[in-house]
A and B are shown apart, each in its own frame.
Chain A
Amino acid sequence: MAKPVVIVVGADKGGVGKTTVSRTLLDYFSANNVQTRAFDTESPRGTLKRFHPDITEIVDMTTTADQMKIFDTLSSGPSVTVIDVRAGLLSPALASLRDIGFLDAARSGQITFAVFHILGPSIASLDEIAETANFMTGAKYFLVKNFINDTQFFQWDQSTYNSYFHRIKDATDLTIPKLNEMAYEQVEVSSVPFLKFVANKLMNDDAANYSFVLRGYVRHWLANVWSEYDRIKLTDLVGAKSATRGEK
């Protein structure tokens, strides 16, 4: 039986692209034939579920019942679990994981645990890194600089950034490039995974009529995002062999 893998995507700040990154992860695993399930903590209405309804469940991570729903089923379902943590809930969620002994299990190697920490545009985001760092022993920690909405925030003073970044041992940083605004908006309106948009398909796999230009922008952008995931050897992390993705 493969070791369970839990990937938490979160930030303490809203609007930094957590759900977008979660969506790219689910598309990436789908393209690499990795069985995945997802939990959307934007209870009661989840954005992630709108894009990946078949594999996503909405949960309230602050309740014990839903914590059980996620963590007591780790060994029974698909090997990879992606949790899109609602804004402001990352630190409390990590504290809960510590309290239920999950972080200890990760430390002892029973579970593979990774955190994708999406950074926001302000110095407050850097303070989050310091706060989150306390929970990261035994976890793979990825700092995600999200440029998707074209914010210029990463023109911080590099030494300030480094002083925070190096507080976490073995942290890896990732860059999500900018996606053309109209293309992003069209995928939002279409409410389909990025992969289906690129393949010009509706949610039910019927042929769609999306703009060739916008599909091209999404294809190009998704390839760049995935090359970042390839760079950090994400398929190795989840114990899968990298599939030949071909021309999706």
Chain B
Amino acid sequence: MSSTPVYIICSPRPQVSKTLIARLLSEFLLLKNGDVISFDINLKEPSLVDYLPRITETADVIDTYGKMQLMDRVIINDGVAKVIDLGYHAFDEFFKMCDEIGLMKEALRRRVAPVILFVADTDRVSARGYDMLSRLIPPNALVVVDNEFVVRGELPPAMSRTRVLRCRALPVFLKTYIDRLNFSFTGYLRHEKDSSTELHQWIRRNYTTFRDLELSMLLQRS
């Protein structure tokens, strides 16, 4: 039986497009597998649950009860991929908990495959966050998201040690367009007849990137 992937999209910084990546990935997994469970751990940022209310649950890691509610759902090999949109304020607490409860070892035992998608930025807080993760997470489970809109082509060299996913920047008017709460990436692909539009190609490129990531993770585990 294959492992169930758990994608954790994170950054210790606000406004680096974590929720955008989580939306894209959740919609991709929903399109590909027909099922996905997303968890929104954002109290202070634009929220995944507002965009994808049918597949998203809210969670918190403030207290032990919240941690149990989240992690006891996540650590199950039920074949349904999970996406966690981890708000910047919960970054330290979440990974401290992962370290303390031995998440990576237990996940291996239970055939659950956490993949940490670290959304990069060029500041010191991000550098420290990445450094902490690279000590905690095996290299094959740690992926850096190079979001051109945030990093502007200046991804810190230290963050290139692990796999890097590149996400191209969209023009501001398109960014505003996809930020509308009722916008669906898959819906756009289905309904926009002109596949040459910049947004069409951007979504397809990102979906292809996720498909490649999934495939390479699958090969690593097999």
Contacts and interface: CB of A to CB of B under 8 A. Distances in A.
Interface of A: 180-183, 211-217, 219-220, 247
A187 B185 CA distance: 46
Interface stretch (B24-32, B61-69, B129-137, B161-169): B61-69
A180 B101 CA distance: 11
29 contacts: A180-B64, A182-B65, A182-B68, A183-B64, A211-B68, A211-B72, A212-B71, A212-B72, A212-B101, A212-B106, A213-B67, A213-B68, A213-B72, A213-B101, A214-B64, A214-B68, A216-B100, A216-B101, A216-B102, A216-B103, A216-B106, A217-B64, A217-B100, A217-B101, A219-B101, A219-B102, A220-B100, A220-B102, A247-B105
Q: Give 8 nearest A-B pairs by CB, closest first.
A: A216-B101, A182-B64, A213-B68, A220-B100, A213-B71, A211-B68, A212-B75, A213-B67
Contacts of B102: 216, 219-220
B215 interface: no
A220 B64 CA distance: 15
A99 B133 CA distance: 59
Contacts of A183: 64
B70 to A, nearest CB: 8
A184 B105 CA distance: 22
A181 B68 CA distance: 13
Contacts of A212: 71-72, 75, 101, 106
Most chain B CB within a 10 A radius of its CB, from A212, A213, A214, A219: A213
A213 B101 CA distance: 6
A201 B204 CA distance: 47
B170 interface: no
A211 B72 CA distance: 6
A91 B146 CA distance: 66
A222 B113 CA distance: 26
A183 B100 CA distance: 12
B181 interface: no
A214 B100 CA distance: 10
A238 to B, nearest CB: 28
Contacts of A211: 68, 72
Nearest to B109: A247
A181 B67 CA distance: 13
B218 interface: no
Interface string B89-129: 00000000100111101100000000000000000000000
Contacts of B75: 212
Contacts of A219: 101-102
Nearest to B103: A216
Contacts of A247: 105
Contacts of A214: 64, 68
Given A182-B68, A211-B72, A215-B101, 11 more contacts: A183-B64, A211-B68, A212-B71, A213-B64, A213-B67, A213-B71, A213-B72, A214-B68, A217-B64, A220-B100, A220-B102
A220 B106 CA distance: 12
A183 B97 CA distance: 13
Nearest to B61: A213
Contacts of A213: 64, 67-68, 71-72, 97, 101
Most chain A CB within a 10 A radius of its CB, from B64, B103, B105: B64
A217 B71 CA distance: 12
A212 B100 CA distance: 12
A204 to B, nearest CB: 22
B84 to A, nearest CB: 14
A181 B64 contact: yes
Contacts of A215: 101
A183 B64 CA distance: 9
A29 B68 CA distance: 30
A220 B101 contact: yes
Nearest to A185: B64
Nearest to A210: B72
